Amino acid sequence: MLGERGSWVSAFRLIFLAMASLLAFLGGGSPEPSLGRVPLLSVMARSFLPACNHQPHSCYNAAVFPKIFALGLVLAAPFSLAQETPGSQQPQPQVKVNMLNVCAPSKDEQQEIASALSRIPKHPSFSEDFEVDRGRSLLDPGANPLASAQPATSPATTAADFIRLRRDLSGGTFSTVQYSFSRDTEQMVETLVFRVRDPKELLQISIEDSASSVTSATAMLGSATPASRIRLERFGKSSVVLARCRAAQGPAPDQSAYEPLFASASSILDAYRGVLGAKTLVPEELARLSRTAGRPARSGSSPKHK
């Protein structure tokens, strides 16, 4: 605010000095005014002009040039003022935040979820391409912004084992299907993702379920754990999410109207467990991962024998 006020004061001061100089020259009658009546701008202008040398046309140019110079300053002052303060008038960009109601989606969102689930093939045809990954990653509790707001209990980090399997679909709406299984000290999570081949509005569909790590991975995969979360990622729009919600206090919200959607997603997840061979693949890969993590690290150089 102070900078903008200072620019206005400087501009008006420049206009005032230029107009005063212009009036002083316009008020003079002789073609070669005396030095006592010539302001500072006239002296500066005469320094760039040759002497009169008793030639009338030279004296005339010396008298006219300061007037043109002062008039140019008057005309250029508003433009310099407009160039100094364009940014102060620009409005600030608006920030829009979309809140997703994952516990109770609207009727349109329910129909969109049902339509997307119905497009998933029940008897898929896979190509020869596939990919299997396994590994272990450290979970940093400081990376969760919600966990940072809570009082810290222990700074120790935990590790999670994961298995990923990807298969390419031959033809149809979806191009690939990816199944992932992760396990840490607290829970096990299954995620099934279908990616659209030619995305226009829908990008991908993900179905997720979870269980406590008290039981084994074999027991979880064999018990047909129901789906707990359905997510539709859309192009240029916010995602559509349906999740099973629990109340922190009081009774849980009534989600009986969404049971057909959860049942459809659970049947798809259970069918692809068998089609992808996850019921046998995941326990085998977890066993290999445990053996790999239990091996001692190899040193760079072998010990020397005396």
For residue 5, the model assigns a pLDDT of: 53
pLDDT of 12 > 90? The answer is no
Give domain status of residue 60, yes or no: yes
Residues 191-214: pLDDT tens digits? 999 999 999 889 999 999 999 888
| Lowest mean pLDDT, pick from 164-178, 179-193, 248-262 | 248-262
- Do residues 139 and 40 both lie within one domain? no
- Do residues 9 and 81 both lie within one domain? yes
Higher pLDDT, 278 or 14: 278
Give domain status of residue 18, yes or no: yes
For residue 9, the model assigns a pLDDT of: 53
Higher pLDDT, 41 or 97: 97
- Do residues 80 and 120 both lie within one domain? no
Residues 95-140: pLDDT tens digits? 666 667 789 999 999 999 999 999 999 999 999 999 999 999 887 6
Give domain status of residue 265, yes or no: yes
Q: What band does 303 get if pLDDT is binned at 50, 70 and 90?
A: very low
Give domain status of residue 120, yes or no: yes
Q: Is 181 within 8 Å of 217 (Cβ atoms)?
A: yes
Overall pTM surpassing 0.75 (yes/no): no
- Do residues 74 and 122 both lie within one domain? no
- Do residues 148 and 278 both lie within one domain? yes
Tokens of 81: 């003022």
| Lowest mean pLDDT, pick from 17-26, 151-160, 281-290 | 17-26
- Do residues 129 and 202 both lie within one domain? yes
Eight-class DSSP state of 200: S
- Do residues 68 and 133 both lie within one domain? no
Q: What band does 65 get if pLDDT is binned at 50, 70 and 90?
A: low
For residue 2, the model assigns a pLDDT of: 47
Select from 61, 89, 117 the last residue of a domain: 89
Give domain status of residue 169, yes or no: yes
For residue 169, the model assigns a pLDDT of: 94
Give domain status of residue 102, yes or no: no
Give domain status of residue 234, yes or no: yes
Q: Is 60 within 8 Å of 50 (Cβ atoms)?
A: no
Query: How far does Cα 123 stand from its chain's mean position?
Result: 37
Helix (H) or strand (E) holding 167: strand 158-169
- Do residues 58 and 155 both lie within one domain? no
- Do residues 8 and 141 both lie within one domain? no
Select from 63, 89, 115 the last residue of a domain: 89
Q: Is 207 within 8 Å of 265 (Cβ atoms)?
A: yes
pLDDT of 15 > 60? The answer is yes
Tokens of 137: 């990653």
Select from 38, 61, 89 the last residue of a domain: 89
Give domain status of residue 97, yes or no: no
- Do residues 72 and 218 both lie within one domain? no
Q: Which long-range contacts (CB under 8 A, 24 or more apart) does 88-93 make?
A: 88/4
Mean pLDDT value across the chain: 76
Taking alpha carbons only, the member of 22, 52, 15, 51 closest to residue 39 is 22
Provide φ and ψ at 95, rounded to 5°: -110, 125
Average the pLDDT over 56-63 and give the result. 54
| Lowest mean pLDDT, pick from 134-148, 157-171, 213-227 | 134-148
- Do residues 34 and 175 both lie within one domain? no
- Do residues 168 and 285 both lie within one domain? yes
Residues 234-274: pLDDT tens digits? 998 999 999 999 877 677 788 999 999 999 999 999 999 99
For residue 148, the model assigns a pLDDT of: 47
Structural domain boundaries enclosing 127: 107-247+255-294
pLDDT of 80 > 80? The answer is no
pLDDT of 85 > 60? The answer is no
Number of domains in the chain: 2
For residue 146, the model assigns a pLDDT of: 47
For residue 26, the model assigns a pLDDT of: 54
